[in-house]
Structure 1
Amino acid sequence: MFSSRAARIPARSFPALRAIGALILREMSASYGRSPGGYLWALLEPIGGVALLTLFFSLTFHAPPLGASFALFYATGLLPFMLFSDVQSKVANALTYSRALLAYPTVSFVDALIARLALNALTKLVVSYLVLHGCLLMFDTRASPDPLRIFEAAGLAVLLSFGIGTLNCYLFLRAPVWQQIWSILMRPMFLISGVFFLTDQLPRWAVDTLWFNPLVHVIGYLRRSFFPTYQPDYLSAFYVIGVSLVALALGLLALRRSYRVLLAR
């Protein structure tokens, strides 16, 4: 009696995890399976791009605003921005990408969102680790990384990407023109998120204005985790978490009510 019951449990256990795993494998195969090197290129391509940009700016600007290495200063600004930009974009297009699979009752829209978040966030986190570790090995950075604070900054970046990406997933389906508007809005974000400068060194009115950009906080937290003497007073994890959770809740509620209708249009 017990053996037959136990034999039936695996077939019914964790259907969401199996669906998410299948979606991740499908995306890896579709995105990287046909290229030489496969998934390895998902790591090498951004690492090479970040390394070249970091090298260029480190040779151009020898005195970083923080620390002794412009390479590390630039990487701590660029990497969280890249993570947010790429991951939220993947999540925002998750339902369109998995439209055919969502017809199956065992695959929910949440599975599609989580699968894209898991694969792309993990990829960007590995890239970030390799680039930042490379900076510490190759340059005299005089930095003292704090692993717990690094995890805190990474968690904030991933949560923000998921929240904004989920809300945009609904908005892109509801009003396709919003995708073009969002693309335009993201262009100046690279300049106003603190990638090239320290926000707290700007005039007070600029700091108060940029405070509402959650990426400024994420980048500030990552830089603080590498430079213990850097303690800006504008950082607020609660603000980033609040923006992320509100966007996530609105996106999930809106998608739950209407994603099938929107995908059928």
Structure 2
Amino acid sequence: MTKVLTEKNFTYALSENMRVIAALVVRSAVTRFGESRMGFVWVLIEPAAYVGVYLLVHASMDASIPFGDSALLFVLTGIFGFRMTRGIARKTERAIISNQPMLTYPLVRPLDTIIATFLTESTIWLIICWLFMGGLSLMMDRSVIVYPADFAECLLAILYFALSFAAFNAMISALIPRYDTFINMLSMPLMLASGVFFVPTQLPPDFQAILWWNPFLHCVEWFRTSTYLDYNALLSKSYLLGVSTGLLAAALSIERIFRRKIVAS
């Protein structure tokens, strides 16, 4: 009898939590695009702008393509390997701050706001990735995803890292206000050090050893290994997954220990 009641209580609590997250997802989507119809268009323009600037500089310098036969494919895989990861994480790590008034309700927990924002941003970026990669495939008249299984695995790894990175940053930002500004300042240096515009394995070993510690680089390299037949990647899947797991475990621990302070901040 006790076991049945426990199962019913768990099921009820889970359903309540799902309803809370669903409501927060709707709120996140409305907040993201409700104020401006140009919101989704800007999300499309941003990666296109990166690609356009790179191609313009590349053409003006008459430079060779770092790898493969298409500068567009090379830079697009780099942009999405980094920007999708950082874009999802950037919005998600502000979930607690953006939804602070909602935390006054007993049913809403800090983690609920993170999960809801993550689901919203992940959906948006997966749609954008599909549009760009599908469009490029039509332009080149061939499939640009040569290893579909690896590509699906890569997307899951990117989402896992983005969630873990964002959850950790969200918890620290709720406790240390200036931390959010610090993380935002690191976005450009991280992108430049993630192999978006170059092939890391073509650098001297000493530079490779330093860049290897950047988890965003492994997101980019994993993305590229699924779009090229013979790409020589500076990639450690276990390192990226290990960092993701460590960050997520730390975030959950911080949330559990400092939940009252996070809610009250």
Query: How far apart, in 2, do the equivalents of 1:163 and 1:209 lie?
Result: 22
- Offset, 1:139: 3.4
Residues paired across the two proteins, number: 252
Query: How far apart, in 2, do the equivalents of 1:12 and 1:174 lie?
Result: 28
Query: How far apart, in 1, do the equivalents of 2:218 and 2:84 lie?
Result: 14
The residue matched to 1:250 in structure 2 has which SS?
helix
- Offset, 1:143: 4.3
Q: Pick from 41, 50, 54: which aligns with 2:51?
A: 54
- Offset, 1:252: 1.2
Q: Does 1:31 find its partner at 2:32? A: yes
- Tell me, yes or no, if the aligned pair for 2:25 and 2:120 is still in contact at 8 Å: yes
- Tell me, yes or no, if the aligned pair for 1:88 and 1:161 is still in contact at 8 Å: yes
Query: How far apart, in 1, do the equivalents of 2:210 and 2:20 lie?
Result: 43
- Offset, 1:128: 1.2
- Offset, 1:146: 1.7
- Tell me, yes or no, if the aligned pair for 2:161 and 2:241 is still in contact at 8 Å: yes
Q: Deviations over 1:142-183 (max 9, x none)?
A: 845221111111112111111111111111122112222222
- Tell me, yes or no, if the aligned pair for 2:91 and 2:117 is still in contact at 8 Å: yes
- Corresponding position of 1:7: none
The residue matched to 2:253 in structure 1 has which SS?
helix
Runs of 4+ in 1 over 4 A off after TM superposition: 10-13, 140-144
Query: How far apart, in 2, do the equivalents of 1:154 and 1:12 lie?
Result: 30
State the AA in 1 paired with 2:192.
L
Query: How far apart, in 1, do the equivalents of 2:75 and 2:247 lie?
Result: 29
- Offset, 1:99: 1.6
- Corresponding position of 1:248: 248
Query: Any residues of structure 2 matched to 1:140-155 within 5 Å, and which?
Result: 143-155=144-156
State the AA in 2 paired with 1:149.
D
Q: Deviations over 1:75-116 (max 9, x none)?
A: 101112112222212221111212222222222222111101
- Offset, 1:217: 1.0
Query: Any residues of structure 2 matched to 1:1-265 within 5 Å, and which?
Result: 14-36=15-37, 41-42=39-40, 44-61=41-58, 63-139=64-140, 143-232=144-233, 234-265=234-265
- Corresponding position of 1:5: none
TM-score of the aligned structures, taking structure 2 as reference length: 0.87
State the AA in 1 paired with 2:97.
T
TM-score of the aligned structures, taking structure 1 as reference length: 0.87
State the AA in 2 paired with 1:21.
A
Query: How far apart, in 1, do the equivalents of 2:243 and 2:130 lie?
Result: 26
Identity, % of aligned pairs? 27
Indicate how the Cα distance of structure 1 residues 137 and 225 shifts in structure 2: closer, same or farther if over 3 A, else same.
Answer: same
- Tell me, yes or no, if the aligned pair for 1:92 and 1:168 is still in contact at 8 Å: yes
Indicate how the Cα distance of structure 1 residues 36 and 93 shifts in structure 2: closer, same or farther if over 3 A, else same.
Answer: closer
State the AA in 2 paired with 1:251.
A
- Tell me, yes or no, if the aligned pair for 1:89 and 1:165 is still in contact at 8 Å: yes
Query: How far apart, in 2, do the equivalents of 1:245 and 1:189 lie?
Result: 20
- Tell me, yes or no, if the aligned pair for 2:103 and 2:109 is still in contact at 8 Å: yes
Q: Which runs of 5+ in 2 are unaligned?
A: 1-10
- Tell me, yes or no, if the aligned pair for 1:93 and 1:169 is still in contact at 8 Å: yes
Query: How far apart, in 2, do the equivalents of 1:261 and 1:84 lie?
Result: 28
Indicate how the Cα distance of structure 1 residues 171 and 11 shifts in structure 2: closer, same or farther if over 3 A, else same.
Answer: closer
Query: How far apart, in 2, do the equivalents of 1:51 and 1:29 lie?
Result: 24
